[in-house]
């Protein structure tokens, strides 16, 4: 009689766990055809769209020439203009992706307390949900960078769709704080020659990173704090991160203000790095760029499309799902293909949007532990 009860309770437990994690929200990207006319495409190469999954290669050498073909295994080929780390020794830029979220105010409190400026790579859809948080970050002196509107795989989009992603984010940021960022972080770190040329045509510098604690992959673990801090400690000790193709002496680290478990490690990270002589800076400041934002005088108009599917035509509604894009996957030097592959796959699996993280992730963990305690005897 216990077996049917076990099956019933197990299904309920799995259902509760799934609900705690949540289904990713659908994000409808605003569009305005005027935006398309603002972008000069003459220097954008005609490179084919790459569907998600098309860049996975078995036994790839990741030696440079094949990186773009095997971008999901190797990471895209680095260019001299790509920003991975700080060019100044013992300088560290903390950066946070995918926000703002319900945890960002807490993070801002911590940064204020330690008098440290950071860089926030924000999603347009989330800026619209938390405009006051973005305003607070900007007025406190933090750098605001773009992370697209809905977090898609940019290489899988048409030129028009990429423009809508970037311009819709510009509008959201403009409405919140009246500026246009000069830096953009491509979701997953994925950007080939076409995507980079498009971003450059819209006035952006590509901001990547050379330290990744993979908080998106470990935030639910009991030892999450130790894992996250460990990545910073190893980099500070001079251990190769596999993410530093330009061999920058300073660091730009990647975290996500979607995860409270990552944010709570920030004071420990700051303390550890300060003791080792590191100075904290924004990504732009570590590059010597004192003007990371453009002030805007004119409003940015947009047309919100409530229904529709992602289309290649410029006059089609553009929609995307947050579930298809999550935390930025790791760009890689040619020597770190294995690291990149594992990182890329785990990030896609572990993503939840800001809307879904409002459900406490500890609920899922509690249910999983409870299910193990209750039902493990039946497997013995």
Helix (H) or strand (E) holding 179: strand 179-181
For tokens 């100044």, name the residue.
88
Q: How far from each other are the two terminal CA atoms of the chain, in whole angstroms?
A: 17
Taking only Cα atoms into account, the Rg of the chain, rounded to an integer number of angstroms, comes to 21
Which is it for the CA torsion 133, 139, 141, 147, positive or negative?
Answer: positive
Catalytic, 256? Answer yes
97 noted as active-site residue:
yes
Three-state secondary structure along 57-96?
CCCCCCCCCCCCCCHHHHCCCCCCCCECCCCCCCEEEEEE
Comparing CA positions, the residue from 37, 27, 33, 26 lying closest to residue 301 is 33
| Diameter of the chain measured on Cα atoms | 72
Catalytic residue among 82, 97, 192, 215: 97
Residue 111: HSE in the Cβ half-sphere, 13 Å Cα cutoff: 27
Among candidate residues 91, 256, 293, 351, the one labeled active-site is 256
By annotation, the residues acting in catalysis are 97, 256
């Amino acid at each position: 009689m216990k077996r049917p009860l076990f099956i019933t309770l197990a299904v309920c437990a799995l259902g509760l766990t799934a609900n705690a994690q949540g289904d990713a929200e659908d994000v409808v990207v605003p569009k305005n055809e005027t935006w398309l006319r603002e972008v000069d495409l003459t220097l954008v190469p005609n490179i084919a769209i790459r569907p998600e999954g098309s860049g996975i290669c078995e036994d790839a050498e990741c030696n440079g020439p094949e990186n773009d073909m095997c971008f999901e295994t190797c990471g895209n080929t680095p260019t001299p203009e790509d920003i991975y780390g700080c060019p100044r020794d013992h300088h560290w830029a903390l950066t946070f992706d995918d926000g703002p979220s319900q945890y960002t105010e807490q993070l801002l409190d911590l940064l204020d307390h330690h008098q440290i400026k950071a860089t926030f790579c924000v999603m347009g859809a989330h800026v619209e949900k938390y405009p006051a948080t973005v305003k607070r970050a900007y007025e406190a002196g933090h750098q605001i960078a773009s992370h697209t509107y809905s977090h898609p795989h940019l290489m899988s989009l048409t030129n028009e769709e990429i423009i809508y992603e970037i311009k819709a984010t510009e509008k959201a940021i403009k409405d919140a704080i009246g500026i246009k960022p000069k830096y953009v972080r491509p979701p997953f770190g994925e950007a080939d020659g076409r995507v980079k040329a498009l971003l450059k045509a819209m006035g952006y510098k590509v901001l990547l990173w050379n330290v990744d604690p993979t908080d998106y992959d470990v935030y639910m673990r009991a030892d999450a704090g130790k894992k996250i801090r460990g990545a910073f400690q190893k980099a500070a000790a001079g251990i190769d991160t596999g993410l530093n193709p330009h061999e920058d002496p300073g660091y730009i680290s990647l975290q996500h203000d979607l995860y409270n478990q990552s944010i709570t490690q920030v004071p420990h990270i700051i303390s550890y790095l300060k003791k080792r002589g590191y100075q904290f800076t924004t990504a732009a400041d570590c590059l010597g760029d004192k003007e990371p934002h453009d002030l805007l005088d004119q409003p940015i108009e947009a047309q919100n499309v409530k229904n529709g599917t992602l289309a290649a035509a410029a006059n089609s509604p553009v929609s995307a799902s947050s579930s298809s894009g999550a935390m930025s996957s790791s760009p890689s030097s040619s020597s770190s293909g294995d690291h990149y592959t594992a990182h890329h796959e785990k990030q896609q699996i572990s993503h939840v949007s800001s809307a879904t993280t409002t459900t406490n992730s500890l609920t899922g963990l509690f249910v999983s532990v409870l299910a193990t305690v209750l039902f493990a005897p039946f497997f013995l």
